[in-house]
Structure 1
Amino acid sequence: MEQTIPGTTLFDGVQARKGYALNKMCFSFNEAGNRAAFVRDEQAYCRRFGLNDAQQAAIRARDVPGLLAAGGNVYYLAKFAGILGLDVQDLGALQTGVSKEAFIARLLAQAQPVQAR
């Protein structure tokens, strides 16, 4: 049974296979030398990991929904976002099309007990 959440790309087995190269590249950013290599030559670094055209285009555009659609896992993409000075809340804001402040406010509102709402 396939689940859908409007505006969300579910990360399942199909997405995992689709995004393997992208996620492997993002995982490599755990090492400072790899982050520096990416900054020096993004295109060469993407080719080194075998990213497809859609993945490379999304990297160049800093297109978070595009990266998710191309098989990116948000936890690996956080490594890429760190190079750009972004955090997971920035990614959530970009994914949902709201400001970071609005995204944080939404998270906080959802964390409140039902009676307090």
Structure 2
Amino acid sequence: MTGGKPYDNVPGTVIFDAEMSRRGYHLNQFCMSLLKAVNRERFRANERAYLDEWAMSEEQKQAVLARDYNKMIALGGNIYFLAKIFATDGKSFQYAAALMTGMSQEDYANMMLNGGRSAENNRYKGEQSDG
């Protein structure tokens, strides 16, 4: 993303804005193709061949193959479109969210049941405490 946006100052946050939408257009279209059973089967049968049918960057294709959802988001993927990938893999949204946060699924679920992630170190960069 280019600098100068008011939300660029939030650490660890990728905002799906118009620029990211353009960047991830083909990645997100690939994800939407997985709504059809025939496409899910084709993808499962040969992931690389199916991905090569889409005008995604090589970096986007590698992120899909690695199931690196954080990277896909950084490359313009929208989490609601990316959900089609983990659903195709038989995984839950909770599983993917835990994976993206580096937590176990149980720890992630407990965190969310206890009010979610702390705001500490998740504020604007200029508002963070030093200690």
What TM-score results when the alignment is normalised by the length of structure 1? Answer: 0.87
Q: Which moved more, 1:23-32 or 1:44-53?
A: 44-53
Q: Which runs of 4+ in 1 moved over 2 A?
A: 4-8
Question: How has the CA–CA distance of structure 1 residues 100 and 8 changed in structure 2, closer, same or farther, with 3 Å as cutoff?
Answer: farther
- Structure 2 residue aligned with 1:2, among 6, 19, 32? 6
**Equivalent residue, structure 2, for 1:84:** 89
Cα drift, residue 5 of structure 1: 3.4
Q: Determine which structure has greater relative contact order: mean sequence separation of CA pairs < 8 Å that are 6+ residues apart, divided by chain length.
A: 2
**Pairwise CA distance, 1:83:** 1.5
Which of 93, 99, 108 aligns to 2:98? It is: 93
Q: Could you tell me how far 1:13 is from its partner in structure 2?
A: 1.1
Larger Rg: 2
1:30 aligns with 2:66: no
Distance (Å, rounded) in 2 between the aligned partners of 1:73 and 1:40:
24
- Report which of the two has the higher share of helix: 1
Q: Aligned Cα RMSD in Å?
A: 1.4
Determine what percentage of the aligned residue pairs are the same residue: 37
| Deviation digits for residues 17-55 of structure 1 (CA, Å, limit 9, x no counterpart) | 111001001011111000001011111211212111110
**Distance of 1:73 and 1:96 partners within structure 2:** 16
Cα shift at 1:6:
2.4
Deviation at 1:108, TM superposition (A): 1.1
CA distance in 1, matches of 2:99, 2:20: 20
Report the residue type matching 2:6 in the other structure.
Answer: E
TM-score normalized by structure 2? 0.78
Distance 2:69 2:100 in 1: 6
Is the Cα contact below 8 Å between 1:17 and 1:71 reproduced in 2?
yes
Question: Which structure 2 residue ranges, 5 or more long, are not aligned?
Answer: 117-131
For residues 5 and 109 of structure 1, what CA distance do their matches in structure 2 show? 23
Across the two proteins, how many residue pairs are aligned to each other? 111
Q: Secondary structure at the match of 1:65?
A: helix
- Alignment deviations for residues 71-95 of structure 1 (CA, whole Å, 9 cap, x no partner): 1111111100112121111121111
